[in-house]
Chains A and B, each alone.
Chain A
Amino acid sequence: MLEHLAPQIVNGLMLGAFYASVAIGLSLIMNLTGVINMAHGSLLTLGGYFAFMLAAIGTPFAIVLIAAPILTALVGLAIERGLMRPLYGRDPLYSLLLTFGLSLIAEEVYRLIWGSNGVPVSAPAALQGGVSFGSFQVPTIQLFTAAVLVIAMSALWLFLNRTRFGLRLRAAVQDTEMIAALGTNTQVLYMVNFCLGVLLAGLAGVLAATQLGLNPTSGNALLMPAFVTVIVGGMGSLLGALAGGLLIGMTISLMTLFFPAASDVSMYVIMAVILLIRPRGLFGEEGLFG
């Protein structure tokens, strides 16, 4: 049994890292602004399409990995400035409906630009193939994704905990009115926070496009596991997103070993159990959404 368990545990960790990379941006936006970003999947897809376009003109993957998320964040900036701003402070239902509508529009726009069929995206040659762990092999691109996640999370942690701007962001999560009264421009905080979330969506989009198909709806399929990851891990917690992702990834992977038909539903069972035992999630703060 151990020879079957070991590869699934490693695979679960890789899968979990991937889900966590999708969930972090979602969690970040939700935490400060209360926006339940239903367009996160579409923005993730956009990151993939930017990577596809950049790769098509011969851009090295290292640059694609940086440029595509930045381009996605610029689109996020336009959304935040043009559409999102009037909805801050209102019932989360408004932003939920707005972002849901945006995701539908985005899907059609992608279809008009890149066609409804998928487009081929390869992992760079250096990341193709696998690394042998004795009796089994793990794709290099999955290990790379996990490494990128660790770097991105470390950078984000440093930004939030070791920079003045990051500290203001965290303070705004605790009490927006107080920090505004102390002279901080909260609109700038919101803007940076939203763009940072979208940047992370773009990064996840590039990583997803190298491993999965890329078409106008491909990001939406990753949205639900990302929401489950955020709920399980606890809203607004980086550690929670990581823990939630790993728990979900491990559950799906092990369930596939014994009962693959229930692999997808198993994450919802985990979510239900967590909500019953600890409604704020594993590392979430109590009463974040009132």
Chain B
Amino acid sequence: MLHRTISRKTVLKSAVAATTAFGIPAFLPRIGDAAAELAIGLVEPTTGIYATYGEYERAGIAMAVDEWNARGGVMGRKVVTVAEDDANDPGVGVQKARKLVQQDHCVALIGTINSGISLSVSGAANSLGVMFMDSGGHTDDVTGKNCNWNTFRVCHSTWMETHATGVDLAQRFGKKWYLITPDYAFGHSLYDGYVDVAKKLGVEIIANDLVPLTLTDFSPVLTKVQAAKPSLLIVLNQGDQFVNALKQASAFGIAKSTPIGGPQCELEAVEALPVEARVGFWGVEWYYDSPLSVGPAGTPGRKFAADYKKRYGKTASARSAFGYISMDRVLWSMAEAKSTDALKTCRALENSKFNSIFQGSAYFRKEDHQLMWPMLIGEIQPNGTPGDKDNLFKIIGSQPADKVEQTVAEKAKVCTITYPS
């Protein structure tokens, strides 16, 4: 039999360790517990290929939070945010959503870039009974076949993006298109949108190369594009893949020989491209320096862009705007409903027209919870403008939301919002 003696010193050490491990946390304030604080959970990527977009969205969110807090908060409560990294993984997104609501007591969730995570967090928020504001995941399904009563979306749907850009691209560059599509929810839904545009306009999609989201080198695909000689190359990839595809298209000489365009192009991605690869006509969702997007001098949009630049030392992007609008609307809904109850705040948002940091008014459509706001078309200006090297787009058109989004009747075929009794 083994006899072990336990010294007094060991007992004391154990006691100190136990107190530290179990005792002290009880005295630490828990986020969201204090009546004076209202916690909103952010599910955004801080690592991985979409980390940049997450950073810009969080910066916009912080601007909205500070504005509300400067006005006295919401129902007298100071607004705080708790951010979690979704690691660009739908499963992790769900875990983080649960943690934010159950452990950190967040009363609403905002965020996501990757459409797959938007869908998974939307489902998690539904089971948790809190509002989820999808700031940046574009797939149609979020406000389509996977719509639910507590999910709203600020950024445009893929249908809006493809239908806003498709007509313009066909008019400019003819009707023989080659598509490169990322093989996940977002890419598939963009492809479906362009197929619909192609049918209506008599466009021939001569090839659609589905490429894995992990693909780094686009040269095999671009070799095929070279041989196919399309009238237009449409790149549906975003983030790092967008940068790699455009950079390699430039190396292959395709950027000079073949027009390039697509449904969506982010300012952050263009900034990461060398000048020779900055080409094309693209869908743009918000732009800091266009009257078509933010209106003339003195408008809230211009003020937001100026304040953002002053605060962060960089130019506000569409992602910054998504973050700002998302947080602003979530807090407005709570102030309007005088409650944090998800059912009441969701009801408050539906069909309520509002003005924000973009030109004109907008509203979340009651039937699918999609934000109805204009979609822009822009041409890349490779060198910016004199005095502003970040001014990389020339906005050449704006399409009203009701012209480019599916009608309520069309949406009713896939989305029926049912509220809990």
Contacts and interface: CB of A to CB of B under 8 A. Distances in A.
Mutual binders A and B = yes
A8 B210 contact: no
A139 B51 CA distance: 30
A4 to B, nearest CB: 6
A243 B55 CA distance: 41
A247 to B, nearest CB: 15
Contacts of A224: 214
B227 A217 contact: no
Contact of B226 (A107, A136, A213, A216): A136
A142 interface: yes
Nearest to A119: B272
B217 A213 contact: no
B253 A18 contact: no
B331 to A, nearest CB: 26
A139 B240 contact: no
A30 B195 CA distance: 49
B209 A120 contact: no
A212 interface: yes
A135 B215 CA distance: 26
Chain A CB within 10 A, most for which of B55, B220, B272: B220
B251 interface: yes
A118 B243 contact: yes
Contacts of A256: 209, 220-221, 223-224
Contacts of A257: 220, 224
B243 A261 contact: no
Interface in A186-223: 211-218, 221-222
A260 B222 CA distance: 12
A84 interface: no
Contacts of A101: none
Contacts, number: 132
Interface stretch (A121-129, A155-163, A177-185, A231-239): A121-129
Contact of A260 (B48, B209, B271): B209
Nearest to B253: A130
A100 to B, nearest CB: 14
Interface stretch (B22-30, B99-107, B147-155, B273-281): B273-281
Given A116-B55, A213-B247, A221 B216 contact: yes
A7 interface: yes
A275 B251 CA distance: 36
Contact of A211 (B55, B248, B253): B248
B219 A11 contact: yes
A121 B217 contact: no
Nearest to A224: B214
Contacts of A7: 223, 226-227
A213 B214 CA distance: 14
A265 B272 contact: no
B298 interface: no
Contacts of B248: 139, 211-212
A128 B212 contact: no
A142 B251 contact: yes
Contacts of B55: 116-117
Chain B CB within 10 A, most for which of A116, A142, A255: A116
B253 A213 contact: no
A137 interface: yes
Contact of A18 (B217, B227, B273): B217
A229 interface: no
A16 to B, nearest CB: 11
A221 B272 contact: no
Interface string A98-118: 000000000100010000111
A263 B273 contact: no
A155 to B, nearest CB: 25
B215 A263 contact: yes
A12 interface: yes
Interface in A255-269: 255-257, 260-261, 263-265
B404 interface: no
Contact of A215 (B183, B247, B272): B272
Given A256-B209, A260-B210, A263-B212, A217 B49 contact: yes
A145 to B, nearest CB: 11
Contacts of A118: 52, 240, 243, 268-269, 271-272
6 contacts: A4-B227, A130-B253, A137-B226, A217-B240, A253-B223, A256-B224
Given A213-B272, A252-B217, 8 more contacts: A116-B51, A116-B52, A136-B223, A141-B251, A211-B217, A213-B240, A214-B272, A224-B214
6 cross-chain pairs, A with B, having the tightest CB-CB distances, nearest first? A118-B272, A213-B243, A256-B220, A139-B251, A122-B274, A261-B210
Interface of A: 3-4, 7-8, 11-12, 14-15, 18, 107, 111, 116-123, 128-130, 135-137, 139-142, 211-218, 221-222, 224-225, 252-253, 255-257, 260-261, 263-265
Interface of B: 47-49, 51-52, 55, 183, 209-212, 214-217, 219-221, 223-224, 226-227, 240, 243-244, 247-248, 250-253, 268-269, 271-276
